[in-house]
Amino acid sequence: MIQHPILILNDPAVRAALKQAWQESKPGVSGGHEEGGFILRDTAGNLSVARWPKGAQDTIILPPRPNCRIGGKDIVASFHTHPNTGSDYLQEPSETDKRAIRDAPDLKGAFYVGEFVISMDKVYLITPNGQVSEIGNSRDIAG
Ligand SMILES: [Zn+2]
């Protein structure tokens, strides 16, 4: 079953994890760093979040995810933060972000809805074909 992205964002466990990731990425005019992770669904339908290891400044090093699954759970979405709010920084997903999702060979699972990008104001969704839409207000999701 494909879950609507809004329903994934509304899940209390997901919301708490996104909020924590946002805070840990130290949002501000500068000095923030991206945090991210996978949103997983087990066979009972419960959602959980597996955070990525911290990368360098803007580069997150992704763990392997064969067949769009991790540890027997389906990857239903992924996310990363755009914590820097200074004018030098793009708030919306970058071309690199879009390409990374579109061209990821192991993020092509039937249940994968795309990657959420959390900025100060908006939450964006990069769909598996690399399209971007605004999906909500960060205040509602990351607090
Ligand atoms: Zn990005």
116 within 8 A of 137, measured Cβ to Cβ: no
pLDDT in tens, the chain (143 residues): 788 999 999 999 999 999 999 999 999 998 899 999 999 999 999 999 999 887 654 556 666 677 888 888 999 999 999 999 998 888 999 999 999 999 988 888 889 999 999 999 999 999 999 999 999 999 887 76
C-alpha distances in Å from residue 115, one per residue of 3, 30, 44, 107: 14, 23, 22, 10
CA of 44 to the centre of ligand 1 (A): 31
Give residue 141 CA to ligand 1 midpoint distance, Å.
18
Angle, CA 108 vertex, CA 103 and CA 110 arms, to 5°: 155
Q: Which of 134, 125, 117, 122 is nearest to 21 (CA)?
A: 117
Distance 12 CA to ligand 1 centre (A): 24
User: Distance between CA atoms of 86 and 127, rounded to whole angstroms?
Assistant: 26
Range of the structural domain that residue 114 is part of: 5-142
CA of 73 to the centre of ligand 1 (A): 24
If one counts the domains in the chain, the total is 1
Tell me, what CATH number does 18's domain have?
3.40.140
Q: In whole angstroms, give the CA distance from residue 100 to residue 52.
A: 15
